[in-house]
Every structure is written in structure tokens, then in C-alpha cells.
Structure 1
Amino acid sequence: MARFDLTDEEWAIVTPLLPGAEGKKNGRPRLDDRKVLNGIFFVLRTGVPWRDLPERYGPYTTVYNRFNRWAKAGIWIGVFEALAAGSPESLEFVDSSIIRAHQHAAGRKKGGPDHAIGRSRGGLSTKINALVDSRGLPVRIVPSPGQASDKAAVPLLFDGRRAGDVVADRGYDARAILELVAALGGTAHIPTCSDRRVQRSVDRELYRKRNLVERFFCKLKHFRRVATRYEKLAANYLAAVLLAATRLWMRFESMT
């Protein structure tokens, strides 16, 4: 087994979440899903171009085409959400991280969709907004342009969910967010900005646990194709991020 390949335990976790066999095309059976997934994770983890995928994973065109096709079909989103559905809602952390966009990802047509790429202080970038549970595992991930406000992603992170105790830094200090969390049955633990007339205090021990979301981003960026955005389409980059997050879930589940 190669270094970044799925273990038998991880494969057993993800197998039921994959679509059934698509049958034969042009008289040929499709390449084994496990081999394809191993090839995809090799690319995500090492950051190599698809063309440089080692031959042991099969034709790079087959591996990329399945990654791309299943990204468009929402398969990778469904796999991630199926694993994240087992997360408790008692304690959650919200934060974001800026990802630099490679020049190959920034060549969209003029006047077309922005594909979650914007221009921030560091240049062209994408922002990953994440909701993480009390075990440091991702529950919801939303991409946005690099210059977008962190606050704007919060309604999307909680869309269709109930809220528990939600912890975030003062960058999320806004009445709309406090009211949203309260409406979802939760309590927001967010310190106020220094210029506010009325200051809110947050339990120090609870606030220290924010390192869980920071450690999540650190683990996520071990996947080099996530740490730098090479994908031009927002759907493909989101698929790459969710697959990396899915691998974190598989590792956790395989050890419990």
C-alpha cells in the first residue's frame, strides 16, 4: 500500500457512500473505485498535476474525469455530509482561512462567475469558512471570495441546522449573528470589538477551545492541493476541500 492510500478500515467507511457501478462503457468495465480514490487523494495530498499521477493508479484522465464528474454531480458533497451528519451539535466553532489562488485558477472569462475567487490583501484568493465540532471535525464548509466578510458566510454555515454553543472570535461580532444563533436554539460566545459601548465577556476556558478550529485548518492544509488553489471551477475546488475533510473524518472513524 502506497503512503497516501486508503486503509482497509477507511475504505470500509466510505464504500457504502459511493454510487453504484455505472456499468460498462465501450465494452470496458470502469476502473476500480478504490484505485481511483487513492489516485485522487495522492493528487490532493502531494499537489502534483493530474498528468503526473503515478501509473499505479491507472490513466490520469480516468482519475481526473471521475473526480470532475462526481464533483459536478454533488457526489463528494454527499459523502462528506453523510459522515458529518454524525456530529453532535452541543459545541461548535466558526472560523475562516485564506487560500492563495494559483495563476492557473484565476483565468476565468471576463464577465463570468467569480468561482469564489476574489482579490484580498495578499492577491487573488479564496476563503474557506468552516463550522467545526467539539472534536475538531468539520461539519459544514463554505467557500467565498477572498475579500468577502467572514460574517456573510455564517447563515450558509448554519443553513438547515440547529445551533448549540457557538464560539467565534470578535470578527464575528454582529447583532445579526447573535440573533441567528439564538433563533436556531443556540448561544453565541463571541467577544465584542473594543469600540463597542457595551462589552460582552466570554468564558476564558471555553474561548481557548477555539484552537480546535485552528488545528482543523492546519490539518486541512496538509493537503497541498487545498493549501493552494489550483482548480479553476468553484465546484471542483470545493470538492477537493470536502474530500480532504472527508479523509479527516475517515481517519477519526477508523480509530474509534
Structure 2
Amino acid sequence: MSEAQWQLIASLLPGKASDPGRTGSDNRLFVNGCLWVLRSGAHWRDLPERYRKWKTLHKRFILTGGQVGDILTAPALLDGFKTEAVLADKAYDSNALRQIISDSGAEAVIPSNRARKVAIPHDAAIYRHRNRIERCFNKLKHFRRFATRYDRRAIHFLAFIHLAAAMIWMR
């Protein structure tokens, strides 16, 4: 992590001297250790000694199942959001999901699945913006641990997503 990147996030991390509770001995070393695990895809136990005790880093680091179809969690993800449109690919083409989107007052911008007998039209101009989302996921997948989903606990996986997203944002 460069000095400029560190300056952007240093004040956001818990464990500073001004924070209540315990103070992190070296937040930068902690973040660099987490980045090493994220980039390499290695297990925490394989963390090089220069990052100190792997167990300490892992404890400090503390969605859905990896093989579960995303359409099952889509309603929960949409709950509470107010938007004009919901962009999704053909895998999300279901009458139930379209109804949830419609009930929220948004437009479903979802191409019809080939199995659908009567195709439902979608706004192709808006759908093209979905490419930005795909590019974001492609950037996230450059981090091996994100791409292979080694973490069993959703909270750990989500924490790595936040860390990877922050690194992409700081480029």
C-alpha cells in the first residue's frame, strides 16, 4: 500500500489512540497483512512472519452460501431501496422478482430468459450501463481470495470485499 493510499484510510480504521478500547499496535501492518491474504488467496496460517501472529490478524479481521443462486437473495437486497430502475442479467428473469421491483416503483431492466415464451421488453440503453457493474466485479476478481471465495464465514468474505473495493477506489 502506498503512502498516499494509507493517508486516505488511516483515520478510518479502529484502534487509533483516540478511539475507546484497545489500540491496534500497527494498523498499517494489519492492513498490509490482510491485503497479502486477499491478493495471494493463501490461508491465514500461511501469513509471512513479517505481519506478526496470523491468529491475531485473523481475529481482528473478523452473504449467502457460495453455491446458492443469487436470485434467491435478490428480494432481500432490494428491500428498503428506492430506485428508478433495477438492472440485472437474464438469470434474474422471474415473474416474482419483476413483481417485487414493480411494487417498489422501479423499472425492471432485465432481458428475458430464452425459456420465456413471450419476451418482456427492456430498455436496452439503460441495460448497457450494467457493463460498469461487470467491470467492477472483474476488478474485484483480480484479488484471488475474492475470486475463489475461500472464506467459510460470510462476515469474513464481506470484510475482504470491503478491503478490495477500498484498494480499487484508491487507485
Q: Same fold (TM over 0.5)?
A: yes
Q: In the alignment, which residue of structure 2 is the partner of 1:143? A: 64
Question: Is residue 165–residue 189 contact of structure 1 (8 Å, CA) maintained in 2?
Answer: yes
SS in 2 for 1:143: coil
Q: In the alignment, which residue of structure 2 is the partner of 1:218? A: 138
In structure 2, how many angstroms separate the alpha carbons of the residues matched to 1:154 and 1:14?
Answer: 31
In structure 1, how many angstroms separate the alpha carbons of the residues matched to 2:43 and 2:113?
Answer: 43
In structure 1, how many angstroms separate the alpha carbons of the residues matched to 2:167 and 2:64?
Answer: 18
Question: Is residue 143–residue 238 contact of structure 1 (8 Å, CA) maintained in 2?
Answer: no
Task: Name the stretch that deviates more: 32-41 or 179-188.
Answer: 179-188
In structure 1, how many angstroms separate the alpha carbons of the residues matched to 2:69 and 2:41?
Answer: 28
Question: Is residue 47–residue 223 contact of structure 1 (8 Å, CA) maintained in 2?
Answer: yes
Q: Deviations over 1:158-197 (max 9, x none)?
A: 2332123221122211222222223333211112223434
Q: In the alignment, which residue of structure 2 is the partner of 1:11? A: 6
Q: Deviations over 1:178-220 (max 9, x none)?
A: 2222333321111222343432222334333332222222211
Relative distance call for 1:195 and 1:44 in structure 2 (3 A) is closer
What stretches of structure 2 of length at least 5 have no aligned partner? Answer: none
Relative distance call for 1:248 and 1:156 in structure 2 (3 A) is farther
What stretches of structure 1 of length at least 5 have no aligned partner? Answer: 72-141, 252-256
Q: How does 1:228-247 map to 2 (within 5 A)?
A: 228-247=148-167
Letter in 1 for 2:13: L
Q: In the alignment, which residue of structure 2 is the partner of 1:194? A: 114
| Residue 85 (structure 2) aligned to one of 159, 162, 165 | 165
Question: Is residue 102–residue 108 contact of structure 2 (8 Å, CA) maintained in 1?
Answer: yes
Q: Deviations over 1:121-148 (max 9, x none)?
A: xxxxxxxxxxxxxxxxxxxxx43341x3
Higher percent of residues as helix = 2
SS in 1 for 2:122: coil
Superposition RMSD on alpha carbons, in Å?
Answer: 2.5
Q: TM-score, normalised by structure 2?
A: 0.79
Letter in 1 for 2:136: F
Question: Is residue 15–residue 27 contact of structure 2 (8 Å, CA) maintained in 1?
Answer: no
Q: CA deviation at 1:37?
A: 0.8
SS in 2 for 1:188: strand
Question: Is residue 169–residue 190 contact of structure 1 (8 Å, CA) maintained in 2?
Answer: yes
In structure 2, how many angstroms separate the alpha carbons of the residues matched to 1:197 and 1:229?
Answer: 36
In structure 2, how many angstroms separate the alpha carbons of the residues matched to 1:31 and 1:151?
Answer: 42
In structure 1, how many angstroms separate the alpha carbons of the residues matched to 2:94 and 2:124?
Answer: 20
In structure 2, how many angstroms separate the alpha carbons of the residues matched to 1:20 and 1:185?
Answer: 43
Q: How many residues align?
A: 168
Q: In the alignment, which residue of structure 2 is the partner of 1:63? A: 57
Q: How does 1:1-256 map to 2 (within 5 A)?
A: 5=1, 7-21=2-16, 23=21, 30-67=24-61, 71=62, 142-146=63-67, 148-251=68-171
SS in 1 for 2:159: helix
Relative distance call for 1:206 and 1:23 in structure 2 (3 A) is closer
Q: In the alignment, which residue of structure 2 is the partner of 1:96? A: none
